[in-house]
Amino acid sequence: MRVVVFGAGATGQLFGVAFLRGGHEVLLVARSEEVEAIRGHGLRIEGPSAGVYPVPAVDALIDGITPDLLLATVKTFDLREAGAEIGRRLRPIPPVLLPQNGIGVERLLEEGVHASAPSAPPPTIVRAVHTIPVTRLGPGSLREAGRGEIVIGIPKEPVAKRASDQFEELFRSGGIAVRRVPDIEREVWRKLLVNAAINPVTADHNILNGKLSEEPWRGQAESLHREALAVSRAEGQTFSEPEAETDLWRVVRATAANRSSMLQDLRRGRPTEIDAISGELLRRGKLHGLELPATSRALERIERRARERLARPS
Ligand code: KPL
């Protein structure tokens, strides 16, 4: 299959290499510094998929290409713009996999596509979430800090269901563990509960995910997790406390050697996903009359850290 990975940061690059190894034709669309490095020395990976891979990479979507599948691996806050670019450049628009953190991301992509291509049919979107730990070491260089999995939704609508089958095949062929579920919304919430606890604490204290099993970080992560769980219940999700706790500590263990994406973003002076995670929980919590003091403190602290980082001369 011909596959485009649009917004190929560390995770997208790792996916691209997996698909290449699975025998597919892959094109990464990434930032210029990544493209230059990948073209110069190949994509360097440490960890289970260690190697140097010559993956084709460009810094903008090329007009008129016709991939069979597209993965949009941009951050949540860039999804609307990604949709607009896809709408501008691609006809037909291929099925799009969205593996972002956070809830309600499909709407952002749809709005972007509609803004630039109002007469195009709405894109076929397949939602997914993943726990694959990847740390960027530098341009075109990353460390896979363990093995995770990708969970892909099985939509009811036949065209989207077929696209979901193809995405499953794509990941499997590349040796990435895949699970498929009919209720992806539940998995999106499951992942949100994990991110709500792990990402702000690791980013605030500049620690690897594995440190969360030690105090005082453990207590902080648990408070955030409890509040996120309360919101999920108010929203109709039915995770029991033991189930949600088991999920959290399983991901902490599996990604112990990883820097969370929020910590990586802060360190690079990039915007973080704090609004898509804690901000969204606060907005939904408010609608249900829930007080979320730990989540609101975490949001403030990460926003402050981001401002300090931006104010610091480089
Ligand atoms: O999703 C992640 C992230 O960093 O955003 C985890 C699974 C927590 C891995 O670090």
Among candidate residues 210, 212, 228, the one with its CA nearest the CA of residue 220 = 212
Residue 307 burial by Cβ neighbours in a 10 Å radius (0-12, 13-18, 19+): exposed
Tens of pLDDT, residue by residue over 154-183, are 999 999 999 999 999 999 999 999 999 999
Distance 46 CA to ligand 1 centre (A): 18
> Hey, what are 275's tokens?
């609004």
| Closest residue CA from atom 4 of ligand 1 | 260
Cα distance between residue 192 and residue 214, in whole Å = 21
pLDDT reported for residue 312: 67
DSSP string, 271-313: --SHIIIIIHHHHHHHHTT---HHHHHHHHHHHHHHHHHHHS-
Name all residues whose Cβ lies below 6 A of ligand 1: 101, 131, 133, 195, 198-199, 209, 251, 255, 258, 260-261
Q: Which residue has the tokens 């940061």?
A: 9
- DSSP reduced 3-state for 95: coil
Distance 63 CA to ligand 1 centre (A): 33
In the chain, where does DSSP find H-type helix?
A: 10-21, 32-41, 79-89, 105-116, 158-173, 184-205, 217-234, 241-254, 261-267, 274, 280-287, 293-311
Q: What are phi and psi of 71, to 5 degrees?
A: -110, 125
Distance 88 CA to ligand 1 centre (A): 31
| Closest residue CA from atom 10 of ligand 1 | 260
> Hey, what are 100's tokens?
């972002």
Positions in the chain short of pLDDT 70: 312-314
Distance 131 CA to ligand 1 centre (A): 6
pLDDT reported for residue 145: 87
| Closest residue CA from atom 7 of ligand 1 | 131
Tens of pLDDT, residue by residue over 210-235, are 999 999 999 999 999 999 999 999 99
**Which domains are seen in the chain, by residue range?**
2-182 (3.40.50.720), 185-311 (1.10.1040.10)
Other Cβ atoms within 10 Å of 49 Cβ, number: 17
> Hey, what are 163's tokens?
């696209």
